[in-house]
């Protein structure tokens, strides 16, 4: 076991309006850090008794973590059977104190009961991969209080033109029906092809630090979308009505070599992207999924085309806490503390939370916020803090 690591407190900056300057700072207590490392953490699931489920795709384990006794145990085992997983990638709360496990290695979602027993499964791929058609993958970027999955629509495998936006799909786990609820801007991307007929390989890569929208889901099914064009937040309610918040002023950070190196390092820290493989044999298609990939050395920065300035915030998932606030991670200069803007259900920025450099928010409990930090080897560590009260941001 490694030596315990120092845990730095949150710093919460009060604001009084969408573009108000930062005011007094509030240091929050209750910090606890689990002493053992993980390979990668995407999400956490706090159980009713306070223990935490952690899926570690790079360490290839599903852990039950107790931050009172500072112990952990493995749930299930590796394999393809009914009580096994191939590569556990994420965990999400389901109704009835159950949990949804994303098992990339077996290409399926698994419902775990309150006793953590493995139950019903469904495939991640809900449609046949065909060129030009919409590919429906149940890869959750959010799960609401009714257990419905929210995922992005994918373009058809091998499609010619890359779209600049995608639909957010709400997927009913019982019927597997998918309906679009909103759209969001994708990052700039490039597409390359290799191979020949019957063995074509298509690779799609995002342009680093290009503007993209970010989104997340609240327990009541409302979808929050942060718009990168002018930096504002929208909430799309379950009935389709939209609440648009005010524009937030920001100065784009000019991108230099340290920013490019930091971006490469963060790719490894976040576990890399999900690789999707398609194999067609005798006209029948099968799909595989795997998370992996590391940041590259400094000389790899020349492989990419970089914009002049950073966009206002990170793309990807926007976590929503139990008080209905969306936590949106801002882009800052290389080496600066991690910064989250908090938005209420009206789309107004109601606070800013600053963490030590590199830390990421990965989930919430009833009264806690869970954060991942990293050591010099880019191993992940889980930290827990008290969730800031609403009154702290008024």
The string of pLDDT tens digits covering residues 323-374 is 999 999 999 999 999 999 999 999 999 888 999 988 999 999 999 999 999 9
Name the residue among 138, 128, 187 with its Cα closest to residue 311. 187
| Residue showing tokens 């926007």 | 318
pLDDT band at 394 (very low <50, low <70, confident <90, very high): very low
Strand pairing report for 214-217 and 316-317: parallel
Q: What pLDDT shows up at residue 283? A: 64
Query: In the chain, count of helices (H) and strands (E)?
Result: 1, 32
Least confident of 85-94, 124-133, 302-311, 318-327: 124-133
Beta carbons of 12 and 340 less than 8 angstroms apart: no
Take residue 380 and report the two structure tokens written for it.
């992940």
Mean pLDDT of 178-182: 96
pLDDT band at 132 (very low <50, low <70, confident <90, very high): low
Q: What pLDDT shows up at residue 193? A: 66
Beta carbons of 243 and 347 less than 8 angstroms apart: yes
- Other residues' Cβ atoms within 10 Å of the Cβ of residue 162: 12
pLDDT band at 16 (very low <50, low <70, confident <90, very high): very low
pLDDT at 15 over 50: no
Q: What pLDDT shows up at residue 320? A: 98
**pTM, rounded to two decimals:** 0.89
pLDDT band at 294 (very low <50, low <70, confident <90, very high): very low
Mean pLDDT of 160-188: 93
Least confident of 127-136, 256-265, 316-325, 326-335: 127-136
Q: Work out the mean pLDDT of the chain and round it to a whole number.
A: 86
Q: What pLDDT shows up at residue 268? A: 80
Residue 27 vs residue 218, higher pLDDT: 218
Q: Report pLDDT digits (tens) over 192-208.
A: 766 666 555 666 778 99
Distances in Å between the alpha carbon of 64 and those of 46, 69, 75, 275, 369? 10, 12, 7, 26, 17
| Residue showing tokens 């002049």 | 308
Write out the DSSP string of 172-241.
-TTT--EEEEEEEEPPPEEEEEES-TTS-EEEEEEPTT----EEEE-TTS-EEEEETTTTEEEEE-TTS-
Beta carbons of 12 and 351 less than 8 angstroms apart: yes
């Amino acid at each position: 076991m490694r030596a315990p690591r120092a845990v730095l407190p949150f710093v919460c900056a009060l604001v009084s309006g969408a573009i108000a300057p930062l005011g007094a700072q509030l240091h929050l207590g209750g910090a606890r850090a689990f002493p053992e490392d993980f390979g990668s953490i995407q999400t956490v699931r706090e159980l009713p008794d306070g223990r935490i489920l952690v899926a570690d795709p790079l360490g290839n384990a599903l852990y039950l973590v107790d931050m009172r006794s500072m112990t952990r145990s493995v749930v299930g085992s590796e394999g393809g059977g009914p009580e096994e997983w191939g590569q556990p990638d994420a965990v999400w709360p389901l109704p009835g104190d159950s949990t949804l496990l994303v098992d990339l290695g077996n290409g399926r979602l698994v419902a775990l009961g309150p006793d953590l027993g493995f139950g019903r499964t469904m495939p991640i791929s809900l449609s046949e991969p065909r060129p030009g058609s919409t590919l429906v993958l149940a890869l959750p970027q959010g799960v609401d209080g009714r257990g419905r999955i929210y995922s992005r629509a994918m373009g058809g495998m091998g499609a010619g033109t890359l779209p600049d936006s995608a639909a957010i799909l709400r997927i009913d786990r019982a019927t597997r029906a998918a309906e679009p609820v909103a759209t969001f801007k994708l990052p700039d991307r490039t597409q390359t092809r290799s191979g020949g007929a019957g063995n074509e390989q298509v690779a799609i890569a995002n342009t680093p630090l290009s503007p993209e929208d970010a989104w997340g889901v609240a327990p009541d099914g409302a979808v929050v979308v942060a718009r990168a064009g002018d930096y504002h937040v929208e909430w799309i309610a379950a009935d389709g009505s939209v609440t648009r918040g005010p524009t937030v002023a920001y100065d784009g950070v000019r991108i230099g070599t340290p920013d490019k190196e930091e971006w490469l390092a963060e790719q490894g820290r976040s576990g890399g992207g999900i690789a999707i493989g398609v194999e067609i044999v005798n006209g029948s298609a099968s799909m595989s999924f795997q998370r992996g990939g590391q940041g590259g050395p400094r000389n790899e920065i020349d492989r990419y085309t970089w914009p002049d300035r950073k966009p206002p915030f990170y793309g990807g998932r926007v976590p929503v806490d139990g008080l209905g606030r969306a936590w949106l991670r801002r882009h800052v200069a290389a080496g600066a503390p991690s910064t989250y803007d908090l938005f209420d259900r009206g789309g107004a920025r109601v606070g800013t939370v600053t963490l030590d450099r590199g830390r990421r928010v990965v989930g919430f409990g009833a009264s806690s916020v869970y954060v991942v930090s990293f050591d010099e080897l880019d191993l992940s560590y889980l930290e827990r803090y008290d969730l800031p009260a609403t009154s702290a941001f008024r």
